[in-house]
Amino acid sequence: MKTKTTTGSKRVPEQPAIDPRVLEAAQMTVFEPKPEKTFACRVCETAGATEQSDRLCWVCLRLKISAWKDTEQPMMFTE
């Protein structure tokens, strides 16, 4: 089976819809890692605490979570 070939059609080069400089600037803004604000820990005063961790470093945060788990367990009383 033969296919028709068009010999007289001119192909227009595709131009990007968005200027490449604008696209690159937008990608840099979106994908650029944003620095987190760090604070001193409220308990041990080491640097590295964040606003999300209630201004506690990771060690003090783990100790706090561990303490919560210990208090939630029912205590067994013996008579």
d(CA 69, CA 53): 17
pLDDT at 5 over 80: no
Looking at residue 29, what is its pLDDT? 82
pLDDT cut 90: percent of the chain above it: 1
CB-CB contact of 48 with 60 (8 Å): no
Looking at residue 48, what is its pLDDT? 82
Which tens digits make up the pLDDT trace of 20-53? 898 888 888 888 777 777 888 888 988 888 878 7
